[in-house]
C-alpha cells in the first residue's frame, strides 16, 4: 500500500505533467483536464493529516494547477466550490510553512509616516501585465507617506529548479529602469529548492527589511505570499490582484478593479467579513504625437498579447480572416511573444503576406509607436486582453472588444471600453463594427477620441494609485 507521502507525491507528479504539457502546447481537452485537476484539489481539501509534508506539497501543486488553467482564463478556479477548497487548503498549509520560518508576530513597527512598503511580484518580467501594474503602483506612491521597496520572488525560477521546465523569462530591463528612475530598491529572491523554502525566504526578507505594509499581486499562484500574509512578518498585507484574487487568511483587504466579476469572485470573501477596496485600474497617459494617415489607403489592425498562441481562437480568427479577404487594404500586426508558425496556421495561407509578427516588446515607447502606427485595435475573444486594451485606448485607437462571458478575461476589455463594447458573445456584431471602422475614417477618429478621453478621465494610473494608497494608509494606521 502506498504511503501518504507517496500519494501526495503522485498528485505533485500529475501537476508537473500538466505543467510540462502546457509548456509544450500539448494539453488535452479542457473537460478531461479540469476533471483531473478537480480530483487533485478535492483530495487535497479532504487530506489528513495536514502536516508539514502536506503543506509543502500543496504549496507546489496548487500554483502549478492554476498556471495550467491559463488558457481557459482560470475557468476552473472561478467555480465557487473550487474557490472554497483552495482557500481551505491554503488555510491549512500556509500557517504550517509560516510557523517553520520562526518569525515572531509583530504588534507594530513605525508609528508614523513614511511607512516601509514592499511591492511584491511573483513574476518580474516586462512581458507580464501584473508585474507592470505593481511597478506602476510602486512608482505612483507618495514618498512622504511611504518608503517603497520592490521584492521579486520570481516564483517560476523555483518551479523550474523543481521541474526542469523553462517557465517565463526574467527580462525586466524596462521595469527595472522605471524603478531605478524612481529610486526604488529591487530585492530579488533567487530560485530555491522548493516553494516552501521560497516562502520562508520571503517571510525572512520582509522581517529583515522591517516591512510595515506588504502589497502583493500574487493570485492563487502565490503560495509564498499566502504564507507571508499569515506570518506576522508585516503589520499589514494587501492583495493587489490583476484579475484573480489570492484567497488566504491574514489579508487586510483585496483590491479589486473588475466590476463585472466582483460578485462572483469576491462573494465568498465578503461573506466571511473580508474587506474589499474597489478602485480603477490605470496606465500611464502619455502626450501623443500627431498621427498621419497610412499611404495607399492601408488600414492597420493590431493585437497585443503575451498569449497569442492560446487566444487566437477559431471563431476570432475566422472573423478576422473574413475581414482580410473582403478588404485587401487591411494589414494585421501581432505584437507579443508567440509561436509564429502556430498562429499563422490559424489563418488562410493566402493571407500570409498581410500578417506581421513583431515579437515581444521590451520597451513601452516602442509599444506606443506600434499602436500609433495602427488604425484599429482588435481584442481577442472569447478570452481577451486587459492592459493592452487600456494602452490602445490611451493611444487614441478605436478598440473592438466584447463581453463574451463571466470570467475576468472575457469581460475586462469591455469594462475598460464601456458603452462602445459589444455585449454578449456576438461574432457577427464584432465583424460588423470592424467593417464599419474600416470603411469610415471619421468613425475611427471619433471612436478613438472617445477611447482617449475615457482613458484620461478614468484610468490615469498616478491619480488612481495615489487614491488607492491613501485608503491603504488609513487601514494600516488604524491598526497601530
User: What does the CA dihedral 455, 371, 218, 382 come to, rounded to 10 degrees?
Assistant: 90
C-alpha cell at 430: 464584432
Whether 350 contacts 318, CB under 8 Å: no
Q: Return the pLDDT at 1.
A: 41
- Neighbouring C-beta atoms of residue 142, cutoff 10 Å: 13
Tell me the CA distances in angstroms from 101 to 149, 231, 283, 431, one per residue in order. 21, 8, 37, 56
pLDDT tens sequence for the chain (480 residues): 468 889 999 999 999 999 989 888 788 899 999 999 999 999 999 999 999 999 999 999 999 999 999 888 889 998 999 999 999 999 999 999 999 887 766 655 788 889 999 999 987 776 677 888 899 999 999 999 999 999 999 887 776 656 554 444 455 667 888 899 999 999 999 888 999 999 999 999 999 999 999 999 988 999 999 999 999 999 999 999 877 899 899 999 999 988 888 888 888 999 999 999 999 988 888 888 777 777 788 999 999 998 888 888 889 999 999 999 999 999 999 999 888 999 999 999 999 999 999 988 777 788 889 999 999 999 999 989 888 999 999 999 999 999 998 888 889 999 999 999 999 999 999 999 999 999 999 999 999 999 999 999 999 999 999 999 999 999 999 998
Q: Return the pLDDT at 363.
A: 72
Q: Return the pLDDT at 244.
A: 86
Judged by DSSP in three states, 212 sits in: coil
Beta strands in 133-252 (DSSP E): 146-152, 186-188, 213-216, 236-239
What domains are defined for the chain? Answer: 4-92 (no CATH), 115-282+461-479 (3.40.50.11380), 295-458 (3.40.50.2000)
Question: Quick one: which H or E segment has residue 238?
Answer: strand 236-239
Tell me the CA distances in angstroms from 192 to 98, 162, 219, 231, one per residue in order. 16, 9, 20, 19
Whether 76 contacts 69, CB under 8 Å: yes
C-alpha cell at 74: 482560470
C-alpha span between 18 and 66 (Å, rounded): 11
- Neighbouring C-beta atoms of residue 467, cutoff 10 Å: 12
Q: Return the pLDDT at 63.
A: 94
Partnered with residue 331 across adjacent β-strands are 300
C-alpha span between 200 and 269 (Å, rounded): 26
Q: Return the pLDDT at 296.
A: 80
Q: Return the pLDDT at 62.
A: 97
C-alpha span between 220 and 93 (Å, rounded): 13
Q: Return the pLDDT at 452.
A: 97
User: What does the CA dihedral 319, 324, 325, 330 come to, rounded to 10 degrees?
Assistant: 160
Q: Return the pLDDT at 291.
A: 76
Question: Quick one: which H or E segment has residue 256?
Answer: strand 253-256
Q: Return the exposure string of 16-42: e unless at least 16 CB atoms fall within 10 Å of the residue's CB, then b.
A: bebbbebeeeebeeeeebbebbbebbe
Q: Return the pLDDT at 106.
A: 60
Tell me the CA distances in angstroms from 52 to 29, 95, 96, one per residue in order. 34, 10, 6
Q: Beta strand pairing status for 213-216 and 276-278?
A: unpaired
- What is the Cα Rg of the chain in Å? 23
In this prediction the pTM is 0.90
Q: Return the pLDDT at 438.
A: 98
Amino acid at each position: 500500500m502506498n504511503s501518504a507521502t507517496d500519494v501526495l507525491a503522485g498528485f505533485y507528479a500529475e501537476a508537473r505533467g500538466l505543467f510540462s504539457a502546457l509548456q509544450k502546447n500539448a494539453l488535452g481537452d479542457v473537460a478531461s483536464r479540469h476533471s483531473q485537476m478537480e480530483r487533485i484539489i478535492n483530495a487535497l481539501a479532504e487530506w489528513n493529516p495536514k502536516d508539514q509534508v502536506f503543506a509543502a506539497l500543496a504549496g507546489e501543486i496548487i500554483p502549478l494547477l492554476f498556471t495550467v488553467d491559463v488558457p481557459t482564463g482560470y475557468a476552473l478556479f472561478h467555480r465557487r466550490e473550487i474557490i472554497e477548497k483552495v482557500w481551505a487548503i491554503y488555510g491549512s498549509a500556509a500557517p504550517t510553512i509560516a510557523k517553520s520560518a520562526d518569525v515572531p508576530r509583530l504588534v507594530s513597527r513605525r508609528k508614523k509616516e513614511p511607512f516601509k512598503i514592499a511591492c511584491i511580484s511573483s513574476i518580474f518580467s516586462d512581458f507580464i501585465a501584473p508585474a507592470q501594474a505593481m511597478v506602476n503602483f510602486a512608482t505612483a506612491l507618495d514618498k512622504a507617506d511611504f518608503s517603497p521597496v520592490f521584492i521579486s520572488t520570481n516564483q517560476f525560477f523555483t518551479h523550474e529548479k523543481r521541474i526542469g521546465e523553462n517557465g517565463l523569462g526574467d527580462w525586466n530591463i524596462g521595469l527595472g529602469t522605471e524603478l531605478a528612475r524612481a529610486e526604488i530598491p529591487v530585492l530579488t529572491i533567487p530560485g530555491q529548492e522548493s516553494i516552501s523554502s521560497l516562502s520562508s525566504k520571503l517571510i525572512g526578507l520582509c522581517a529583515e527589511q522591517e516591512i510595515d505594509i506588504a502589497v502583493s499581486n500574487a493570485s492563487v499562484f502565490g503560495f509564498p505570499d499566502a504564507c507571508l500574509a499569515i506570518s506576522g512578518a508585516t503589520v499589514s498585507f494587501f492583495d493587489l490582484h490583476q484579475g484573480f484574487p489570492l484567497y488566504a487568511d491574514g489579508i487586510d483587504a483585496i483590491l479589486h478593479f473588475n466590476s463585472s466579476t466582483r460578485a462572483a469572485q469576491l462573494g465568498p470573501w465578503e461573506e466571511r467579513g473580508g474587506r474589499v477596496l474597489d478602485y480603477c485600474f490605470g496606465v500611464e497617459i502619455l502626450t501623443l504625437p500627431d498621427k498621419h494617415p497610412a499611404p495607399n489607403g492601408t488600414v492597420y489592425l493590431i493585437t497585443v498579447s503575451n498569449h497569442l498562441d492560446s487566444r487566437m481562437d477559431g471563431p476570432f480568427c475566422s472573423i478576422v480572416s473574413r475581414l482580410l479577404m473582403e478588404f485587401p487594404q487591411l494589414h494585421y500586426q501581432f505584437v507579443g511573444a508567440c509561436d509564429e508558425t502556430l498562429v499563422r496556421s490559424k489563418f488562410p495561407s493566402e493571407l500570409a503576406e498581410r500578417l506581421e509578427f513583431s515579437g515581444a516588446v521590451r520597451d513601452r515607447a516602442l509599444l506606443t509607436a506600434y499602436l500609433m502606427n495602427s488604425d484599429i485595435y482588435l481584442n481577442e475573444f472569447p478570452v481577451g486582453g486587459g492592459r493592452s486594451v487600456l494602452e490602445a485606448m490611451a493611444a487614441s485607437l478605436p478598440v473592438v472588444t466584447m463581453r463574451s462571458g463571466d470570467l475576468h478575461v472575457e469581460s475586462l476589455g469591455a469594462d475598460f471600453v464601456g458603452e462602445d463594447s459589444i455585449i454578449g458573445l456576438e461574432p457577427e456584431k464584432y465583424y460588423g463594427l470592424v467593417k464599419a471602422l474600416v470603411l469610415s475614417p471619421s468613425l475611427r477618429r471619433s471612436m478613438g477620441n472617445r477611447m482617449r478621453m475615457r482613458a484620461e478621465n478614468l484610468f490615469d494610473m498616478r491619480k488612481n494609485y495615489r487614491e488607492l494608497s491613501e485608503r491603504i494608509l488609513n487601514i494600516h494606521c488604524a491598526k497601530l
